[in-house]
């Protein structure tokens, strides 16, 4: 008997588990559309990762009663939400909107100065997800990202803290200072797949 319903056509495309979030300098890597970060650029252990591609639409209505006649996008954004577990000066600096790709320690030394915040720094965020088959990969690349959220470290008696952070994709095309023409057709970044 033939099976019915949504039968899986490719089990290697089923996603299970978290992406590894890697952060490097934006300006030094703005000309590359391919992944440039390595596992040594990872922010470490995570409690969650979530990609959101949001679009707002204009809807034209006409007649009586009003019926929708046309829809077009008027606003687009993308961001990656994650919660990191490793509470280091470097990770907290990223969550505070700073470019912590240099000058901040991954160990238990240093400081994060509070107060006097300015516009969040631009960083390059790459989220590499490896499928359960251990071979196929999906990489989300934001060539110019900013973090603009509250820094919240919720310490619990019997559970590891997970600090939420949102990397927001910003325009990386040649239209803006600090952008590059390689991103003109994909100004917020890209999602790429590889099978090796």
Instruction: Name the pLDDT band for 3 (thresholds 50, 70, 90).
Output: confident
Instruction: Confirm if 82 and 46 have CB atoms less than 8 A apart.
Output: yes
Q: Classify 179 in phi/psi space as left (phi over 0), alpha (psi -120 to 50) or beta.
A: beta
What is the DSSP code string of 56-87?
EEEEEEETTTTEEEEEEEEEEEEEEEEEE---
In a domain, 114, yes or no: yes
Task: Name the least confident of 5-9, 62-66, 91-95.
Answer: 5-9
In a domain, 87, yes or no: yes
pLDDT for 172 beyond 80: yes
- Residue pLDDT, tens place only, 173-182: 999 999 999 9
CA 120 to chain CA centroid, Å, is: 15
In a domain, 4, yes or no: no
In a domain, 31, yes or no: yes
| Nearest alpha-carbon partner for 112 in 53, 156, 163 | 163
Number of domains in the chain: 1
In a domain, 6, yes or no: no
Contacts of 25 (CB under 8 A, 6+ apart): 99, 101, 102, 123, 124
In a domain, 7, yes or no: no
Instruction: Confirm if 127 and 21 have CB atoms less than 8 A apart.
Output: yes
In a domain, 165, yes or no: yes
In a domain, 1, yes or no: no
- Residue pLDDT, tens place only, 37-92: 999 999 999 999 999 999 999 999 999 999 999 999 999 999 999 999 999 999 99
Domain around 42: 12-194
Question: Average pLDDT, stretch 123-136?
Answer: 96
């Amino acid at each position: 008997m033939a099976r019915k319903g949504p039968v899986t056509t490719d089990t290697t495309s089923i996603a299970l588990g978290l992406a590894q979030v890697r952060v490097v300098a934006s300006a030094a890597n703005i000309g590359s559309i391919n992944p440039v970060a390595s596992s040594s650029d990872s922010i470490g252990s995570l409690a969650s990762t979530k990609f959101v591609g949001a679009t707002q639409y204009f809807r034209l209505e006409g007649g009586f009663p009003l019926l929708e006649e046309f829809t077009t996008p008027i606003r687009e954004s993308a961001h990656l939400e994650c919660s990191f577990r490793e509470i280091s000066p470097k990770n907290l600096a990223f969550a505070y909107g700073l470019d912590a790709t240099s000058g901040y320690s991954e160990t238990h030394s240093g400081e994060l100065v509070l107060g006097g915040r300015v516009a969040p720094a631009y960083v390059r965020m790459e989220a590499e997800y490896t499928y359960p088959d251990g071979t196929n990969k999906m990489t989300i690349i934001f060539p110019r990202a900013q973090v603009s959220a509250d820094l919240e470290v919720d310490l619990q008696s019997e559970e590891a803290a997970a600090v939420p952070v949102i990397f927001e994709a910003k325009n990386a095309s040649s239209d803006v200072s600090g952008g590059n023409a390689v991103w003109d057709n994909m100004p917020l970044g890209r999602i790429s797949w590889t099978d090796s």
